[in-house]
């Protein structure tokens, strides 16, 4: 009767398969397949794995798996008849001796625990007595309210300043010859400059009004040159938000409008009632 390993090897060779093919299709590692064919069952993880691998391998090769497993059990599995030696356990003694307490009074760990507990208690009491009399400091409500009122005011002031700067126009007057110049910031405002201009004059603001005695000047508004028509007569301009508008002579700064005298007709007073008339 051929052995288990020889039966497996011959069946594999008849099907022209190598160990790698069987490993791929049965998912059994190649070293375990060789151990089955060489009947080196001690290389397998255990008897249970040996029977499982043998049954799977035999069924894959088309052999009688049940007969091969029975043959493996008959030849390689023998029940052990040797009983394990019993270890006698001695019964415990009825009375257990107490370990002698070391001489020298209480243990050091107990003393250290008592001292630590006492210190914690003292610190706790001191914390209660020192912290109970202290009152929380009152917040200066007046100062806080003043600050809260000041913040919106400051924001509004900054916003107004920013808007004024955004709306302001920059004006530069460059005379070629000494020229009379008068400038204010709108009707009813004080005169910002008046005199004979010999050097460039620079000013900025939301609104500026100019009265130029001569046209031989160069006028720049926000970097743009304003065309001034040549002529012997003075000119005036109203500059607001970058827009330039000519001014009539009576609307220019430092110029008073002529006042036209008005006459009110007088009516002779009526003679009093009862007075004699001139015809009588």
Here the tokens at position 243 are: 């827009």
* Model confidence at 150: pLDDT above 60: no
Q: Taking the model in full, what pTM does it have?
A: 0.36
- Name all domains of the chain by residue range, CATH numbers in brackets: 4-76 (1.10.260.40), 166-251 (no CATH)
Interval 147-173 mean pLDDT: 76
* Model confidence at 264: pLDDT above 50: no
Q: How far is CA 188 from CA 124, 174, 182, 184, in A?
A: 78, 26, 14, 9
Here the tokens at position 1 are: 């009767």
Return the pLDDT at 78. 66
* Nearest by Cα to 174 from 201, 147, 206: 201
Structure confidence by residue, pLDDT tens digits, 193-220: 999 988 898 998 889 898 988 888 899 9
pLDDT band, very low/low/confident/very high, at 147 (cuts 50, 70, 90): very low
pLDDT band, very low/low/confident/very high, at 131 (cuts 50, 70, 90): low
φ, ψ dihedrals at 50, nearest 5°: -60, -45
């Amino acid at each position: 009767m051929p052995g288990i390993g020889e039966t497996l090897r011959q069946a594999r060779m008849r099907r022209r398969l190598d160990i790698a093919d069987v490993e791929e299709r049965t998912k059994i590692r190649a070293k375990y397949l060789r151990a089955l064919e060489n009947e080196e069952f001690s290389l397998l993880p255990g008897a249970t794995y040996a029977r499982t691998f043998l049954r799977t391998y035999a069924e894959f090769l088309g052999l009688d798996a049940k007969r091969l497993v029975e043959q493996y059990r008959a030849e390689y599995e023998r029940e052990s008849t040797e009983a394990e030696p019993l270890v006698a356990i001695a019964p415990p003694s009825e009375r257990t001796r107490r370990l002698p307490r070391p001489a020298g009074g209480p243990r050091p760990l107990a003393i250290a625990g008592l001292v630590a507990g006492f210190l914690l208690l003292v610190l706790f009491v001191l914390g209660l007595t020192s912290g109970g009399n202290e009152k929380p400091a009152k917040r200066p409500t007046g100062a806080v309210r003043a600050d809260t009122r000041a913040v919106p005011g400051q924001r509004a002031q900054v916003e107004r300043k920013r808007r004024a700067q955004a709306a302001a126009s920059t004006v530069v007057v460059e005379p070629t010859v000494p020229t009379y110049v008068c400038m204010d910031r709108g009707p009813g405002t004080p005169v910002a400059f008046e005199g004979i201009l010999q050097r460039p004059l620079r000013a900025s603001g939301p609104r500026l009004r100019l009265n130029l005695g001569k046209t031989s000047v160069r006028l720049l508004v926000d970097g743009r040159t304003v065309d001034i028509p040549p002529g012997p007569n003075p000119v005036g301009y109203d500059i607001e938000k970058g827009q330039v508008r000519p001014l009539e002579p009576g609307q220019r700064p430092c110029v008073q409008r002529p006042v036209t005298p008005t006459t009110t007709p007088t009516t002779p007073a009526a003679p009093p009632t009862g007075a004699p008339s001139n015809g009588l």
